A = this chain, B = another copy of it.
Amino acid sequence: MSHIDELRNKVDEVTLEMIKLLKTRTDIAKEIGNIKKNLGLGITDQAREEQLRAKIISLCHDIGLDESIGTKFLNFLLTESVKIQSETKQTHLSVFLKAKALEEEGKKIIHMEVGEPDFSPPKIVKNALEEVYDKGFVKYGQAKGMPVFRTALAESVTKLYGTNTKPENIIVCPGARFAVYLAITTLLNAGDEIIVIEPAWPAYRECAQNSGIKVRSIKTTLESKWEPSVQQIADAINSNTKMIVLNYPNNPTGKILPPKLQDKIIEVVIKNDLYILSDEIYSQYTYNKEWKSILSYNYKKSIVTQSFSKSHSMTGFRIGFAITDSQIIDKMAKLQALCLTNVSEPMQYVALQALKADTSNNSINMKTRLNTVTQKAKAMKLDFVEPDGAMYLFVKLGNESFDATKFTNEALNFGLALAPGEAFGDYKNFIRISTGIEEKNLMEGMSLLKTVLDKK
């Protein structure tokens, strides 16, 4: 028998030995599951997992196995024994769908649940739609986006942020959401970890979980003005941590980080060689505080997402983009080509034209709306941190036992749609109020909110 055959036999033996242990492990896990079920306990136990993880890391050091291989293996075993639970959380989307159903029954609903400005898309969009057929933007195109559009976006970014952004640093996507999906899915592997600062837009967590990536949540509080501490972030980083998600101005809190805090966070992140996924789609809606794009740090492993949805009020068109290093663009483009071939060419042409529009009125109007709602909320003595930007108020309605999800269902019966806090993390006593609609309706909505609150 040749040496290679001997080695192969050994591999087989070892593998079969592992399978036997897998059987033992599965049997014990089942037994534990049954006991937990009888005791009415949940399936996962974070503290237990961490203990086992620590033991494995220690063993890896002792026997000279790459720690990240060991912990990935653990993550595989954990996913196999604890199948991902089906999502039962209520989100702004489920409220929206309920609201739509009530509307179909003839009920009037004030929509303060959805993150969608009600402004019309710029008028130039109408002209662009009228000419795109004759201009011939109707065929297959490049996965990264139309060259002329990527060039225009690079110029626009350079002008806005004083960067040196080139077309090869841009990928056009069908919405910033898809850019987030691409970045998380292509840059991280199953078993890797991602840090999400909560409250947060649910898509970050969902994209990670969808790829078997472990989410480490950093919980911020209203009391600490939604600011994470540098220590919290440092403590959350381990050898499997590959990415942190930032989103300022924040959805749902409207928070903008103080520049010095942001600098310190970025310092820790860079020291640990993490990717930064910075979702900056609310950058046009910044008001009370100085906001600094993550692009300004000129960090190679940062991916900034942008969109025409909020700034140009073009939600339905599905055009967003990411700005990052060209090698990261290449990785993202590979999955985009696999999924989509290319982004709709007519929509890209239309967005290219929309770039020429002056959308500063949208910013001014949104600021007025947000101010109006903020003043009203203050008068109602609601508990919240005044937003620095974006288009939301994140309001605490009661102590930890207050069920805001139930509350949003009650509000719906009064004709008011609100987003429950649990969609954004462990914030079951919060609601998110969106200021996407006209002031008159916003004021009516706030009055309804008062009515429902007074009933409690």
Mark A residues whose CB is within 8 Å of B.
Answer: 3-4, 7-8, 10-12, 14-26, 28-29, 31-32, 35-36, 48, 51-52, 55-56, 59-60, 63-65, 69-70, 72-74, 76-77, 80, 93, 114, 116, 120-121, 125-126, 129-130, 132-134, 137-141, 174-175, 177-178, 181, 190, 203, 206-207, 210, 212, 314-318, 335, 337-347, 350
A12 to B32, CA, bound (A): 13
A72 to B318, CA, bound (A): 37
Residues of the B chain whose Cβ atoms lie less than 8 Å from the Cβ of A72:
80
Expressed in whole angstroms, the minimum distance between the Cβ of A374 and any Cβ of chain B is 25
A11 to B335, CA, bound (A): 38
Nearest B residue to A32 by beta-carbon distance? B7
Identical chains bound together, number = 2
Residues of the B chain whose Cβ atoms lie less than 8 Å from the Cβ of A19:
56, 59-60, 63, 65, 70, 73
Residues of the B chain whose Cβ atoms lie less than 8 Å from the Cβ of A17:
21
Residues of the B chain whose Cβ atoms lie less than 8 Å from the Cβ of A11:
25, 28-29, 32, 52
Nearest B residue to A63 by beta-carbon distance? B23
Contact B316 A137 (CB under 8 A): yes
Contact B339 A70 (CB under 8 A): no
Question: Which listed residue (B28, B64, B174, B346) contacts A174, Cβ 8 A?
Answer: B174
Between A and B, 27 residue pairs with Cβ closer than 8 Å are A4-B32, A11-B32, A12-B51, A12-B52, A14-B21, A14-B25, A16-B55, A16-B56, A18-B18, A18-B25, A19-B63, A20-B59, A20-B63, A22-B70, A23-B65, A26-B69, A121-B138, A130-B130, A138-B316, A138-B317, A174-B340, A174-B344, A175-B341, A177-B340, A178-B339, A339-B339, A347-B347
Q: A3-B35, A140-B315 are in contact. List 19 more A-B contacts (CB 8 A).
A: A4-B35, A7-B35, A11-B25, A11-B32, A12-B52, A14-B24, A18-B18, A19-B59, A19-B70, A21-B21, A116-B140, A174-B174, A177-B341, A190-B190, A206-B338, A316-B344, A316-B346, A317-B345, A318-B341
Q: Which secondary structure dominates chain A's binding surface?
A: helix
Expressed in whole angstroms, the minimum distance between the Cβ of A17 and any Cβ of chain B is 6
Contact A121 B133 (CB under 8 A): yes
Given A316-B139, A340-B178, does the pair A10, B28 have CB atoms closer than 8 Å? yes
Nearest B residue to A141 by beta-carbon distance? B316
Expressed in whole angstroms, the minimum distance between the Cβ of A156 and any Cβ of chain B is 21
Residues of the B chain whose Cβ atoms lie less than 8 Å from the Cβ of A207:
338
Residues of the B chain whose Cβ atoms lie less than 8 Å from the Cβ of A28:
7, 10-11, 14
* Closest 10 pairs (CB-CB, A-B): A316-B345, A126-B133, A23-B65, A139-B316, A318-B344, A138-B316, A14-B25, A140-B315, A130-B130, A129-B129
